[in-house]
Amino acid sequence: DTAVSQTPKYLVTQMGNDKSIKCEQNLGHDTMYWYKQDSKKFLKIMFSYNNKELIINETVPNRFSPKSPDKAHLNLHINSLELGDSAVYFCASSQFGGGDKETQYFGPGTRLLVL
Amino acid sequence: AQTVTQSQPEMSVQEAETVTLSCTYDTSESDYYLFWYKQPPSRQMILVIRQEAYKQQNATENRFSVNFQKAAKSFSLKISDSQLGDAAMYFCASKGGSEKLVFGKGTKLTVNP
């Protein structure tokens, strides 16, 4: 009964390839996020979707494209992978509306290694 | 823009002792939320404790408590009776209104037996 799940947990690929990471939440939340954690452990938001609508789009290369088929799923597709894309990518979810709902719950992370 | 600063890159504590991790933040929002997340070696991000800025009472969760000083924009985490399983990276985070969640750079906590 995992709350926020991501697949795959590990991804090793060559430069120039295209890859996708999938995220699903069963918490009934309406807002989902993608974060990137770099080698120095710094966590930074990339995207946020609320009810399938993009609401946060940080300065991220166009090679990164999020897709939300429904409010329980948020996928991240990365084109033409580069060495600098190597990181841990976290999905998270929350319920819009303030108070306790502002708490974000994180998935287990996907470690991406680009060779 | 929001900022979160954790001035202690690393801390260590003896098992069963108490340790305090520091965090300061800056936000222009009047309504905001503060969080401490724990990231053990498994890399899972786990919510430790949450504080709503409008609440004067400091949040507590079992052995974890915060010292929230709103005027000083300080939000420290106290871990009492430290256990080996508390060893992890601890991240302080702030979210104001409709703004994004912003993290500090983290503090690595080592628990010595």
- Convert the pLDDT of each residue in B22-52 to its tens digit: 999 998 888 899 999 999 999 999 999 999 9
Distance CA B95, CA A89 (A): 20
Chain B residues in contact with chain A using a Cβ-Cβ cutoff of 8 Å: 31, 33, 35, 37, 39, 42-47, 50, 52, 89, 91, 95, 100-101, 103, 105-106
**Residue B97 Cα, gap to closest chain A Cα (Å):** 8
Compute the count of residue pairs across chains A and B with CB atoms less than 8 Å apart: 42
Instruction: Please check the confidence at residue B13 and state whether its pLDDT lies above 70.
Output: yes
Indicate the helix (H) or strand (E) that contains A28.
none
Contact call for B101 and A100, based on CB within 8 A: no
CA atoms within 13 A on the CB side of A79: 7
- Convert the pLDDT of each residue in B62-110 to its tens digit: 999 999 999 999 999 999 999 999 999 999 999 987 778 999 999 999 9
